Structure 1
Amino acid sequence: MNHHTTDNEKYLLQQVAEGHAAAFALLVDLFWKRVYGSTLALTKSPQTAEELTQDIFLKIWEQRTSLPQVENFGVYIYVIGRNQVISAMRKKVMAIVPDMPGDLVEEMSSPDLQLELKETSGLIYAGIEALSPVRRKIFKMSRINGLTYDEIATELGISKNTVKEHVVLALGFLRRYLQDHSDKTVPVIVLALHCFR
């Protein structure tokens, strides 16, 4: 990592530490794939990996005031990720072997935050239904059915750029919709929306 990138990273961490939602969203965008890939390699379960990745970023948000002191964020996020995976594995073992001593078990991130994520995801689906019929159809084809822009363009007989514009505008609408209809915290909204990026 060069010096310029390191300075940018430190500035970003400082912005997150101060509670800026846009900075946290950018941090999630930059590191999501790396964290998800690592947890998936360890857990072998896409669903578990996604839940743990959300937990990891929630943990980072909860501890955001300490971010300006972080010298190497790559190492920092790796340690948090490793601890979350270990915690999840121990919790799984406890479900199978309930007599295991309690001091061997670590609590995962707040269940309340996980519940908030589920509730916010439900609100996103309500927002999707509020889109115009054409935009809703394109958004669902892209973000729910997993079709590429090229595939959607071919199926609907429109240009790839038109498809992309509809998806971008839909995401912007959903962001505003959540802000207007939800009292959830910044990380919950950011992470819930990230699932549709």
Structure 2
Amino acid sequence: MDNFAALMDKNIISEIKSENVAAFNGAYACYHRQIYGFVLKKTQSDYIATEVVQLCFIRLWEKRSTLNETLDLDIQLFGMARQVMIDELRRESIRLKYNNKSAQYPFTDNLMKMIESKDLLKRFEQEIETMPPMRKMVFNLSRDNGMSYAEIAEMLGISTRTVESHIGKVLSRLKHYMFTVLL
């Protein structure tokens, strides 16, 4: 993100925090498609993607006073979207379990396994939190925000090889963690 865009991002955060509805609508117009695409890619469900976008922006408005003006709005939005998506997937999982009608819903077996292994995901998140800040940031931009290696490299002013190295080290550490601690 260039300096002007970063400045605009900071200004829109302060405007949203001061209850400026036009700024909020501008943020929605700017980011709703990206968030929808991110969630759709993860869930393969148009319904879930639509719900998550709506709930994410509701949460943005409800939590506007706690927005961090030093952190880009897109990073905060994608973090919210990720959490809302996890919450929605858990709700759907519970609903499916009690309705016993899983064939009617467009979830894949892998997605259901991901929900059921939420403890493993939490452990991975805890392991990622212990990593060096740059490595953790690179990994989160890639996985949580769906950014390409080139986008991350440009954003952080590092080479794509460095991005690849960071992500490779995170994945290697997670694999090692999985085999030594969990098995």
TM-score if structure 1 supplies the norm length? Answer: 0.47
| 1:94 positional shift | 1.1
Q: Please, which runs of 5 or more residues in structure 1 have no aligned partner?
A: 99-103, 105-197
Cα deviation code 1:37-72 (max 9, x no counterpart): 011112212222111100001001111012243412
In structure 1, C-alpha distance between the alignment counterparts of 2:83 and 2:53, rounded to whole Å:
12
The change in CA–CA distance for 1:68 and 1:92 in structure 2 (over 3 A counts) is closer
| Paired positions, count | 99
The aligned counterpart of 2:101 is none
1:7 corresponding residue in structure 2: 7
Paired position in structure 2 for 1:191: none
Distance 2:68 2:11 in 1: 8
Inter-partner Cα distance in structure 1 for 2:75 and 2:9: 13
Q: Kindly name which structure, 1 or 2, has the bigger radius of gyration based on alpha carbons.
A: 1
Please name the residue that 2:80 is paired with: 80
Percent identical pairs in the alignment equals 21
CA distance in 2, matches of 1:16, 1:32: 16
Aligned equivalent of 2:69: 69
Considering only aligned residues, what root-mean-square deviation do their CA atoms show, in Å?
Answer: 1.7
8 Å CA contact retained: 2:9, 2:72: no
Task: Give structure 1 regions of 4+ aligned residues with deviation exceeding 4 angstroms.
Answer: none
TM-score by length of 2: 0.50
Aligned residue identity for 2:25: A
Provide the residue aligned with 2:39 in structure 1.
39
Give the AA of the match of 1:51. E
- Whichever residue aligns with residue 52 of structure 2, its letter is L
What amino acid maps onto 2:51 in structure 1?
E
Aligned residue for 1:19? Answer: 19
Task: Specify which structure has the bigger relative contact order, considering alpha-carbon pairs within 8 angstroms and separated by 6 or more residues.
Answer: 1
Does residue 96 (structure 1) correspond to residue 96 (structure 2)? The answer is: yes
